[in-house]
Structure 1
């Protein structure tokens, strides 16, 4: 094997035989370069870490993500160790990249445009202020779920760590709203532009159940519902809070004559985007309407509307924003309108009651998109009790 960067001998001169070590080094370098190019511009592997997309995607599904579907994104942080994201393997906080060179967002042409209800892998939109605990665990979750501010976390975990867009955590959700759409959730039902939105056929929903006998589910019923033995709610073992039921399993419980009711998330939550419950008293099941920005579109701004788009203006599109009384200043100029510079998307998990998604952190900018989830190539199930390979999921297309 000869690589272009090795100096060639003149024609007719004596040819020195390569050592085995050099041949192995050349082969390894060639393989790394080819694999890195494939990972950057064609396909990348991804593993499902949580149940937010169940049952469309299951924990420990291994996917191929197609970067050529929407066009491969040119690396914005090109100086990085191959096959790493933001930290070196076997370390907690050692950076695997350098910000000495930063390229602007660019994307090569793709084979298709982003469609409503595509399953997409993207960089976490709040990851520009990642905060780590002393053990190295990512604490962004606690900012959202427990309503703790970054300033409060800083007292316990230290200074935030800046990450470029392409070096943030990778997430996967369904794109239920594309640029220009208006999103609304009413009693748990998604509406897009006033019409019913995508309803996952095997989505998991939370229910509260009370058995008609006043006794716990028997062994067969627990097996049919995939429940652990003794699973119940509080001291009354005839009451259950089941957060992972499909509509098919809910219908089965009704056939048994038990009382079953959906557990709606109707209470206003402070952690819901845009984090302004006084003006936007929303929850997971009662949300919107909210407009998903489109490149070139203009919205009217006032102090009431601003919380919806403030992060876009400041963080994603890099403007200086100030609010003085009821007046808004962008880059030093008073304004009552803003024109968006990028397209944005609205992401939601198919497991609507167990998903941290756009309802918590808002819009996903186009420069955060990595690719389309394409194919499951491997899958297994693991608990503390058992382990088995899900052969039926091998090489299935993601819809």
Structure 2
């Protein structure tokens, strides 16, 4: 009698175990080959995408990548859920290939990719970033007074793209006005603080800086108590890519910069080494790279030119003054591309003064 009960219990346990294993395998395959969920963690894409948006990222658009780091717990990335314990071992690294997709990365696609500048991780285990692909391989990019030009043609600014403005007002701007024009953002370090900072201005006036999309700036200019709403332009910054002391670039006035494509033959010089250094030393599996006195050698072989092995892309956040993007760390290699962001399936507002769910954003397709 007891043997029958034991067999029955084992049968139920075995069924649930088999079902769980099947579910994990199915979810892992779907996550690898078709779609993956992604959360917007920062405001770098505001207001096109908001902190608290949950996205579906399509792997089928550009084609899924074959696994590189195979010793990894299923359905994890970098760490085990809720801990700082690594979820992978880098003992085995396989060559990585991309299966066929039904499109290539295009200008203005919203793309999820592995953050190329992160150190200490295999490429497929680096942090996941999301930005807009401004330039593709073979393009020449230039930014003039915040206007982006690709191959000499002006790029339309995304409707909700934010940048920094200086607002001069006759009176102090109140909470109601900020809420009406959506000039606020939840900051987890300062709960409920509005993103309007007081800055020095004309005597007797109130002067602020704020991150705004163009249409909000136009609406604010119509208010009787607002004297002016003008863009603030970034100064020259030696930390912007490619960190060449001869460049006097900033995030608002940048380039022209060529974006390398597979097969390009490049003559490496002292003047352009900073532009190609990461490509040659980090992204293309070269060994024993030495650049000295203007001369490049790879694995002991002196080279007058270098042939680019894969395509590269230039990514920027829609929040142009609050985005750590290619203007600082350079190109994104093709093998770092994860997929295309296609839809917001859920959106949660973390501002405690607001409704928890942003109903209007649910099931919105991403432009």
TM over 0.5: yes
Aligned to 1:105: 96
Does 2:181 correspond to 1:225? Answer: yes
1:193 aligns with 2:151: yes
SS in structure 2 of the partner of residue 29 of structure 1: helix
- Structure 1 residue 221, shift from structure 2 partner: 2.8
Question: What's the secondary structure of 1:294's corresponding residue?
Answer: coil
Q: How many residues align?
A: 346
Q: Distance in 2 between matches of 1:255 and 1:362?
A: 39
Equivalence map 1:249-398=2 (5 Å): 249-256=216-223, 257-265=226-234, 267-276=235-244, 278-319=245-286, 320-398=288-366
2:40 corresponds in structure 1 to 48
Aligned with 1:248 (options 187, 210, 215)? 215
Quick one: distance in 1 between partners of 2:337 and 2:305?
Answer: 27
Check conservation: 1:297, 1:339, Cα contact below 8 A: yes
Q: CA deviation at 1:55?
A: 1.4
Q: Give how far 1:329 is off.
A: 2.4
1:381 aligns to what SS in structure 2? Answer: coil
1:27 counterpart = 2:19: yes
Which runs of 5 or more structure 1 residues have no equivalent in the other structure? 1-15, 130-161
The one of 114, 122, 133 aligned to 2:105: 114
Offset of 1:100 from its aligned partner?
2.4
For residues 324 and 348 of structure 2, the distance between their equivalents in structure 1, rounded to whole angstroms, comes to: 23
- Residue 220 of structure 1 deviates from its aligned partner by 4.2
Contact preservation (8 Å) 1:206, 1:241 = no
- Scaled by the length of structure 2, what TM-score is found? 0.89
**Contact 2:198/2:209, CA 8 A, preserved across alignment:** no
Q: Map residues 138-217 of structure 1 onto 2, 5 A cutoff.
A: 162-211=120-169, 213=170, 215-217=171-173
Deviations 1:273-295 (A, max 9, x none): 1222x212211001011111100
Shift of 1:121: 0.4
Q: What's 1:135 paired with?
A: none
Residues 229 and 183 (structure 1), Cα distance of their counterparts in 2 relative to 1, 3 Å cut: closer
Following the alignment from structure 2 to structure 1, what is the Cα–Cα distance between the partners of residues 291 and 66? Answer: 35
How far has the Cα of 1:219 moved from its partner? 5.0
CA distance 1:65–1:324, shift in 2 (3 Å): same
Aligned residue number for residue 126 of structure 1? 117
**Contact residue 303 and residue 328 of structure 1 kept, 8 A:** no
Aligned 8 A contact 1:232 1:239 in 2: no
CA contact (8 A) 1:62 1:378 kept: yes
CA contact (8 A) 2:133 2:313 kept: yes
Alpha-carbon separation, structure 1, partners of 2:295 and 2:121: 32
Matched residues in 2 for 1:335 and 1:229: separation? 55
Q: CA deviation at 1:90?
A: 2.3
**Structure 1 or 2: larger strand share?**
2
Any conservation in 2 of the 1:231–1:240 contact (CA below 8 Å)?
Answer: no
Q: CA-to-partner distance for each residue in 1:92-124, whole Å, 9 max, x for gaps?
A: 2x2111122211111111111111111110001
Distance (Å, rounded) in 2 between the aligned partners of 1:240 and 1:73: 50
SS of the residue corresponding to residue 19 of structure 1 reads helix
C-alpha displacement of 1:248: 1.5
CA drift at 1:174: 0.6
Q: Distance in 1 between matches of 2:332 and 2:243?
A: 17
CA RMSD of aligned residues (A): 1.9
- Structure 2 unpaired stretches of 5+: 1-6, 184-192
2:51 corresponds in structure 1 to 59
Query: Per the alignment, do residues 229 and 216 of structure 1 end up closer, same or farther by CA in structure 2, a change over 3 Å counting?
Result: farther
Deviations 1:276-335 (A, max 9, x none): 2x2122110010111111000112221011110010001001223222223332332333
Distance verdict in 2 for CA 1:101–1:202, change over 3 Å = same
| CA drift at 1:87 | 1.1
- Tell me how far apart the structure 1 counterparts of residues 344 and 337 of structure 2 sit (CA, whole Å): 19
